[in-house]
Amino acid sequence: MRRKVRVLVVEGSAVTRRILTAILAADREIEVAGAVAGVQDAHEVTVRLRPDVLTLDVALLSRRGLPSLERLMRASQTPVVLVSPPTRKGREMTLLALELGAAGVVRMPSRELVRRMPDVVSEMLGAVKAAARARTEPDAPTGRGAPSAASVIAVGASTGGTDAIQRFLMAMRPDAPGLVIVQHMPERFTHAFAERCNGLCPVRVREATDGDLVRPGHALIAPGNLHMRVRRDGQGYRVLLEHGPPVNGHRPSIDVLFTSTAAAVGRNAVGVILTGMGADGARGLSAMKRAGARTLAQDEASCVVFGMPREAIALGAVDHVLPLSELGRVALELCRGRLR
C-alpha cells in the first residue's frame, strides 16, 4: 500500500485552515501532518514534522517576505502548493512565488465559491499529489542521433500536469524536435510556469505568442485562456493563438492543439497525453493517430488523475501506454524513426 502524502497547511485564516484540513484529510491518500498560521511558524514545524508537501496561503506573502519563503523551500526541499486568492496582489505574489520554485497553484474563485467548491477540491487534491511526486527524478534520456527537423511533439495535460510536463521536458535533449504544449492553467500563470520549466530543462521553454515558429530545441506553452493551433508555414510550422469558445470546458483545449497538429504535421508528429481529469485530448489524439502520428499516454500508476489517458485509450487513440519516466525517451525515439 502506498504511503500517504503528509501535508502541512500554512493558512492565515483559522476558518480556512479548518476547511483545507478537512478537504485534505477526507482523501484516503493524504494525511494532514499539521496546520500553522504563518510562514515563520512553518520553518520550525517543517523541520519537526517533515511533511511531503506544504500548502501556502498566498495572502500571507509580501515582497519583503518572499526571501523567507525561498529559504524555507531551499532548506526543507519540501514542494509548496500555493492557494491563490482572487486579488491583484494575490496574483502578483503567486507569480513571484512560482518563479522562486513553488510546485503548483490552486486558484480560488472570485465568486460562486460554494457552487465551484467541487472544482476547488479537485484542484487542491491533484496539486498536492502532483507536488508530492515532484521529488521523483525522471530517468535520463538514452537516445542518440538527430531527430527530424520536421518532427513536432504535441503534449497535453491537466490535473497534476505541471509536474508531469516538467519531468517530460527534463528528459528532452537540447536538439529535441519542436514541442507544443497545452496545460490547463489559469490565465497569467502559464508565463511563470514556462519560466520555471525554462530554468530546469535542456530545451528552451516559453509561453507562446501568436505566430511563433515551432523550432527544434524549443517548447511553446499555450497561454491561459487562449487556444493554440499548429499551422504549416512553408517547410515548417507556426502556432496561432485565438480566443474562441471553450472546448470540453477548457481554453486552451488539448483537442484544439492535437486536431490542428494532426492536420498540419500528420505522420511527422508524436502526440502525448498526460495526467488529467475529464476527456479533453482524447478525440484530438485519435485524429493524430488517424493522420499517421505516433501516440503515447501516461500510465495509471504514474498519473495523479488517469481520466484523460483512460479516455484516449478507450477510443483506441494510443499506441503506447508508459510510465512518466519513459515517455520522454520514447517520444524522442519515435521522432528518430527507431520505434513504431
For residue 110, the one-letter residue type is S
> Does residue 143 lie within any of the structural domains?
no
Q: 218: part of which helix (H) or strand (E)? A: strand 218-221
Q: Is 81 helix (H, G, I), strand (E, B) or coil?
A: strand
> Does residue 146 lie within any of the structural domains?
no
Measured between alpha carbons, how far apart are the two ends of the chain, in Å?
35
Do 158 and 124 share a structural domain? no
> Does residue 140 lie within any of the structural domains?
no
Could you tell me the CATH number of the domain that includes residue 95? 3.40.50.2300
Print pLDDT tens along the chain (340 aa). Answer: 568 999 999 999 898 899 889 999 999 999 999 999 999 889 889 989 999 999 999 999 988 888 888 888 888 888 888 888 878 888 888 878 876 777 778 877 766 555 667 777 877 888 788 777 655 444 434 333 444 447 999 999 999 899 999 999 999 998 899 999 999 988 888 998 999 899 889 999 999 999 999 999 999 999 999 999 999 887 789 999 998 889 999 999 999 999 999 999 999 999 999 999 999 999 999 999 999 999 999 999 999 999 999 999 999 999 999 999 999 999 999 998 755 5
298 vs 171: CA distance, rounded Å: 14
Contacts of 123 (CB under 8 A, 6+ apart): 106, 107, 159
State how many domains the chain has. Answer: 2
Do 177 and 111 share a structural domain? no
Do 163 and 107 share a structural domain? no
Q: Which amino acids are annotated catalytic?
A: 158, 184, 280
Confidence (pLDDT) at 197: 92
**Domain of 38, in residue numbers:** 5-133
Do 97 and 246 share a structural domain? no
Beta strand extents in the chain (DSSP E only): 5-10, 30-36, 53-57, 80-84, 104-107, 152-157, 178-183, 204-207, 218-221, 227-233, 236-242, 269-273, 294-298, 320-322
Cis peptide before 252 (omega within 30 of 0): yes
Do 255 and 116 share a structural domain? no
Could you tell me the CATH number of the domain that includes residue 229? 3.40.50.180
Do 165 and 118 share a structural domain? no
> Does residue 300 lie within any of the structural domains?
yes
> Does residue 190 lie within any of the structural domains?
yes
Q: For residue 295, which of 326, 267, 276 has the smallest C-alpha distance?
A: 267
Do 92 and 157 share a structural domain? no
> Does residue 142 lie within any of the structural domains?
no
Do 171 and 234 share a structural domain? yes
197 vs 200: CA distance, rounded Å: 5
Domain boundary among 104, 133, 162: 133
> Does residue 258 lie within any of the structural domains?
yes
Contacts of 216 (CB under 8 A, 6+ apart): 147, 149, 175, 176, 177, 178
The DSSP code for 139 is: P
Domain boundary among 71, 101, 133: 133
